[in-house]
A and B are shown apart, each in its own frame.
Chain A
Amino acid sequence: MSATTTYRTCPRSGLQFENQAEKLIKANAVMAVLWLAFGGILAIGVVLTRWPAIHWLPADTFYMVLTAHGLDMLIFWIIFFEIAVLYFASSTLLRCRIATPKVAWLAFGLMVIGSIMNNVAVFRGASSVMMTSYVPMMAEPSFYLGIILFAVGALIGCFVFFGTLVVAKREKTYEGSVPLVTFGALTAAIIAVFTLLSGALIIVPAWLMSLAVMNVDPLIYRTVWWALGHSSQQINVATHVSVWYLVAAVALGAKPMSERVSRVAFLLYILFLQLASAHHLLADPGVGTAWKVVNTSYFMYLAVLASMLHGLTVPGAMEVAQRQKGYTKGLFEWLRKAPWGNPTFAGVFISIIGFGFLGGITGVMMGTEQLNLIIHNTIYVPGHFHATVVVGTTLTFMALTFYLIPVLFKREMISPKLAQWQPYLFGFSMYFFCLVMMGAGTLGVSRRHWDMAFQGNALAYEWPGAAYLMMALVGIAGVAAILGGIIFVYITVGSLLWGRKLEPGKSSAAFTPVPRAAPTTAAQTYGSMGFAAPGTFALAMIFLVAFVLYYFINWKYLSTLWGLS
């Protein structure tokens, strides 16, 4: 088998692409970007309707479009891209052929069919149930069937990834342990298997329910659905953190500070986050206090700890690399002299900061049993997760795409100047978007709500003026972010269509084995480097102060509410 394929060595990056893997990565990445583009068009409808002064779409269209926006972005855009990352992290980084390419194409086909089937169901208008599709509210059967086909495809994709790791090991394309990025991708894939199985456990019954074959208890649905919904976010985090390490390596030549810390942190994701669907049920009846407290935290929040570690070690590795290049003045010369004009680096750095400060801090706040009472189902929640899945995952994947245009697609990027601005426009407007959504949510404004004025209702609630102001700012920031998204799609699609073709590099019938990394100079023994990344440590301290203050402010707020027991 291995004789029938070829390996192309990219002259720009030195990466080696196996022929089938290369095509699969491209196909999955292209589908991903198409869904992002479509979901982005839908975002225009969502955001212009929630901007009170514009209130654009009629109610039924709004709920339909919002259902599709959630699914197309959170599921289809992100998972197609993740499958591409999995193939890249196995076949490309380990320089081996992809296992069972035909099966991988089958997986791709299922995902394409499933995602389209699901969208067709939504746009027929009788499946506006939101991505969570809580029973007993029912969508058309093809809504669920589409998700099931897509999930089966994604599951097969994960097994192709595992198979590829086995191939690499057996054919000895590398020595020792897999690279850190591959290791991170492996944790993502393991979590994905768990996630997709939980998904099957609940979406299949919901599908049968839509066919009137069986009945599903609403609370059981919510509990199992969130085992899917929550752990799929863990896949995203594990994947985008892997990409952070990847970008730190290719943009700055950074080495992980300590393989041990980074890898253990990835392992913690598997061990401590995947069952934690509890924090989506904190305001629910019928779930016990002890269960909630234990399952949100496992006594010590080790998964939060894991993200706090990656949040330190990725910029820390960047700092060490920059200092070795001679940028050693003060705490922050390494940061000032970073390649801010490179959209791949800039995107990732903006993503790291936003993910930590906006997504991380608010996630812990929301996931605290009692504090959840003040934000459950308010628009604070989408505020939080746009900071995680948009600023964290999406921005990171966009940054990686800019890197892949010349390397994988062999095209010169069109409008590189525009590309330089893209991460700033998209990233910072998203920061602001998330902040004002959280502001509105703190004032109680509901999510998934067409008319905050309750027009024509005798019992209408009048929101404070500040809530209207916040929602208007959500509108403005959202439009700016969409503009950033349009620029991204324009550059990506444009480069693929009419960017100048670049030299593909030599193809050969055999792989060149992966070299070993040079021995790490950082951290030979504990403390031998002194304090290798003081600037990053200072940033971490700022983060900690923000975290502590924000956390206790919310307890203060909670303490003023009605007594509840």
Chain B
Amino acid sequence: MSAILPPAERLWYKHPIDRVEGTWITIALVWCLILFFMMVGWHIWGKQNLSTETYRTTPEQFMTKAEAVAAKYTVRTETEQNIPVVAPPPGSDVYMLGRLWNFWPILELQKDKTYRLHLTAMDYNHGFSLQPANINIQLVPGFEHVVTVTPNQAGTYSVVCNEFCGIGHHQMVGRIYVK
């Protein structure tokens, strides 16, 4: 029962290693290195890497910019709340914000075109969970996160808030159209 007794040999760090252990250590270490290089490799060859372009912002600053884009490119409004559907040209800056308890505005993007999507949370933390694509990004108040996105499939996408943000959390859902 030596796991609960002091080891017999005085210096535990001189204990020999069994061959089963030696072999496994080698295999496991190689695997761990692969795990590391996959992350690095994906930055070089992969197409899904979360941008880290971030700016400090305030709700007012962000709102001003988002409203300017909405004023220019709103194509229609939807729902009883008249949420604008904003369709900026490919390559441009598009804005979406999360607040208690909705996302604003609705975006309309084009398939296979690239946009600079600016995200923020206006009050508490929120979650940007794009469904059914299943891309999940954290929204933190005070930070403007610029993510470059290239939608690869047309359809109606929902943005579900998946960071708990109070009693209306489960009502917080927005939309992005891809044509």
Are A180 and B148 in touch, CB under 8 angstroms? no
Known: A449-B162, A449-B170. A300 touches B136 (CB 8 A): no
B10 at the interface (CB under 8 A from A): yes
Shortest beta-carbon distance from B111 to chain A in Å: 10
Those of B133-154 within 8 Å (CB) of chain A: 133-145, 147-152
A316 vs B173: C-alpha distance when bound (angstroms): 50
Of A180, A524, A537, which contacts B24 at CB under 8 A? A537
Q: Which residues of A contact B27 (CB under 8 A)?
A: 544
Are A376 and B137 in touch, CB under 8 angstroms? yes
Are A448 and B169 in touch, CB under 8 angstroms? yes
Known: A177-B12, A370-B50. A458 touches B80 (CB 8 A): yes
Counting chain A CB atoms within 10 Å of each CB, which of B2, B136, B169 scores highest?
B2
A258 vs B9: C-alpha distance when bound (angstroms): 11
A288 at the interface (CB under 8 A from B): yes
Known: A370-B48, A531-B20. A459 touches B175 (CB 8 A): yes
Contact bitstring B38-68, A, C-beta under 8 A = 1, else 0: 1110110011111110100000000000000
A527 vs B19: C-alpha distance when bound (angstroms): 5
Closest-by-CB residue of A relative to B56 is A286
Shortest beta-carbon distance from B120 to chain A in Å: 8
Are B25 and A309 in touch, CB under 8 angstroms? yes
Shortest beta-carbon distance from A116 to chain B in Å: 24
Known: A378-B129, A562-B151, A564-B47. A179 touches B15 (CB 8 A): no
Are B148 and A520 in touch, CB under 8 angstroms? no
Shortest beta-carbon distance from A211 to chain B in Å: 19
Q: How many residues of A contact B (CB 8 A)?
A: 128
Q: Which residues of A contact B137 (CB under 8 A)?
A: 283, 373, 376
A525 vs B80: C-alpha distance when bound (angstroms): 78
Q: Which residues of B contact A372 (CB under 8 A)?
A: 136
Interface-side segment among A102-110, A159-167, A214-222: A214-222
Those of A443-499 within 8 Å (CB) of chain B: 443-444, 446-452, 454, 456-461, 463-464
Q: Which residues of B contact A442 (CB under 8 A)?
A: 134
Known: A446-B127, A526-B19, A558-B48. A377 touches B12 (CB 8 A): no
A561 at the interface (CB under 8 A from B): yes
A259 vs B4: C-alpha distance when bound (angstroms): 12
A204 at the interface (CB under 8 A from B): no
Counting chain B CB atoms within 10 Å of each CB, which of A300, A444, A514 scores highest?
A444
Those of B84-133 within 8 Å (CB) of chain A: 106, 114, 119, 123-125, 127, 129-133
Interface-side segment among A40-48, A146-154, A249-257, A339-347: A249-257
Q: Which residues of A contact B166 (CB under 8 A)?
A: 137
Q: Which residues of B contact A176 (CB under 8 A)?
A: 6-7, 10
Are A263 and B13 in touch, CB under 8 angstroms? yes
Are A562 and B15 in touch, CB under 8 angstroms? no
Shortest beta-carbon distance from A57 to chain B in Å: 12
Are B3 and A373 in touch, CB under 8 angstroms? no
Q: Which residues of B contact A302 (CB under 8 A)?
A: 32
Are B36 and A299 in touch, CB under 8 angstroms? yes
Are A370 and B39 in touch, CB under 8 angstroms? yes
Those of A147-197 within 8 Å (CB) of chain B: 174-181
Closest-by-CB residue of B relative to A298 is B36
Q: Which residues of A contact B114 (CB under 8 A)?
A: 563
Are B36 and A301 in touch, CB under 8 angstroms? yes
Known: A283-B138, A373-B48. A93 touches B4 (CB 8 A): yes
A560 vs B119: C-alpha distance when bound (angstroms): 23
A59 at the interface (CB under 8 A from B): yes
Are A179 and B43 in touch, CB under 8 angstroms? no
Are B5 and A285 in touch, CB under 8 angstroms? no
Are A523 and B17 in touch, CB under 8 angstroms? yes
Contact bitstring A297-336, B, C-beta under 8 A = 1, else 0: 1011110110011001100110000000000000000000
Known: A258-B18, A450-B170, A523-B17. A218 touches B48 (CB 8 A): no
Q: Which residues of B contact A282 (CB under 8 A)?
A: 50
Q: Which residues of B contact A503 (CB under 8 A)?
A: none
Are B125 and A259 in touch, CB under 8 angstroms? no
B28 at the interface (CB under 8 A from A): yes
Q: Which residues of A contact B147 (CB under 8 A)?
A: 564
A213 at the interface (CB under 8 A from B): no
Contact bitstring A528-543, B, C-beta under 8 A = 1, else 0: 1111111011001000
Q: Which residues of A contact B160 (CB under 8 A)?
A: 444, 446, 461
Are B28 and A305 in touch, CB under 8 angstroms? yes
Are B35 and A368 in touch, CB under 8 angstroms? yes
Q: Which residues of B contact A369 (CB under 8 A)?
A: 39, 42, 49-50
A261 at the interface (CB under 8 A from B): yes
Are B13 and A374 in touch, CB under 8 angstroms? no
Q: Which residues of B contact A457 (CB under 8 A)?
A: 171, 173
Are B9 and A562 in touch, CB under 8 angstroms? no
A522 at the interface (CB under 8 A from B): yes
Q: Which residues of B contact A180 (CB under 8 A)?
A: 2-4, 7
Of A246, A286, A370, A527, which contacts B52 at CB under 8 A? A286
Are B140 and A286 in touch, CB under 8 angstroms? yes
Contact bitstring A8-40, B, C-beta under 8 A = 1, else 0: 000000000000000000000000000000000
Q: List 17 A-B contacts (CB under 8 A).
A: A179-B2, A254-B3, A255-B1, A257-B20, A260-B14, A283-B136, A305-B32, A369-B50, A370-B48, A373-B50, A376-B136, A456-B171, A515-B5, A517-B7, A522-B18, A526-B18, A563-B48
The 6 closest A-B pairs by CB, nearest first: A517-B2, A285-B145, A563-B150, A461-B158, A446-B162, A301-B32
Where the two chains meet, the residues of A that have a C-beta atom closer than 8 Å to any C-beta of B are 59-60, 63, 93, 128-130, 134, 136-137, 174-181, 217-219, 222, 245-246, 248-250, 253-261, 263-264, 281-289, 293, 296-297, 299-302, 304-305, 308-309, 312-313, 316-317, 364, 368-370, 372-378, 442-444, 446-452, 454, 456-461, 463-464, 514-520, 522-534, 536-537, 540, 544, 547-548, 551, 555, 558-565
Known A289-B49, A523-B16, A564-B51; further 4 A-B contacts with Cβ < 8 A? A249-B3, A302-B32, A529-B19, A562-B152
